[in-house]
Amino acid sequence: MILKYKSYWRKTGLKGKWGEIYLNHLNTFKPKNFLEIGVFCGVTARNTCEYLNKLHGNSFSYIGIDLFGGEKKSQIDEIEPNFLKNQTFSNPLKNLYYNYIKKENLNSIESNQNLLKKFKKNVKLIAGDTNEVLKKIDISDVDYIFLDGGHSYNTVFNDLNTIYEVLKGKNKVILCDDYGSESFIQDVKNAIDDFSNKNNIRIKIIENRFAELIL
């Protein structure tokens, strides 16, 4: 299977080689039921659903959790300060198209639903804070989690702990972004390290950016 990560003319944190590295990691484990924490503009979600559809046909499931524009100021600062405060692109054509012609906020749940509409029977998007939402939904069948949501220590640690309480001992995979020096955030690394030490879970660093945890 040829795995190519497409940007769909949107913002994504997995630019350049990182999208392919992510998809190849996904292909190693071949999950069927997927959870993404931190959907942002939906690019990774769309690439993930395209891959899962090729692998499983219409029998896969994707759950995406994000604030989707319902952030408080402190949460905006925590997630993606420049883009969420002021939707700007280095490409002037994108600025014109999204801000003046289409007038679309790419982080909104409506915009993400539109990007994922071909998989609407398989996709569930949930707007809310993971500190509250994650404990209320059923994730017992999830095989693979991509964690790239809130970047504060407490949010990352709580997300990992909530997932672990449900999936521990089931050999499920969590791939955490922003751990290694290629995309480093200190609070993220500290939270992952503390969670790993507390639960005696080995951290595998992928391409000096991602942290892989097997529960």
**46 closest CA partner among 113, 109, 95:** 113
Token readout for 147 is: 């964690």
pLDDT at position 91 = 81
Mean pLDDT of 156-178: 97
| pLDDT above 50 for 105 | yes
How far apart CA 55 and CA 157 sit, in angstroms, is 31
- Ordered by where they begin, the domains of the chain are 17-72+108-214 (3.40.50.150)
**Helix/strand/coil percent split, the chain, to 5:** 45, 15, 40
What pTM was estimated for this model as a whole?
Answer: 0.91
How far apart CA 148 and CA 176 sit, in angstroms, is 6
| pLDDT above 60 for 146 | yes
Mean pLDDT of 159-185: 95
How far apart CA 14 and CA 44 sit, in angstroms, is 8
Mean pLDDT of 109-123: 97
Summarised one tens digit per residue, pLDDT across range 7-58 is: 998 989 898 899 999 999 999 999 999 999 999 999 999 999 999 999 999 9
Instruction: At 187, give phi and psi (nearest 5°).
Output: -60, -35
Which residue matches tokens 């069927």?
A: 32
Percent of the chain clearing pLDDT 70 (strictly above): 92
Beta bridge partners of 206: 210
Mean pLDDT of 147-166: 96
| Residue 79 or 173, more confident | 173
Interacting residues of 126 by C-beta distance below 8 A, sequence separation 6+: 63, 64, 65, 66, 133, 137
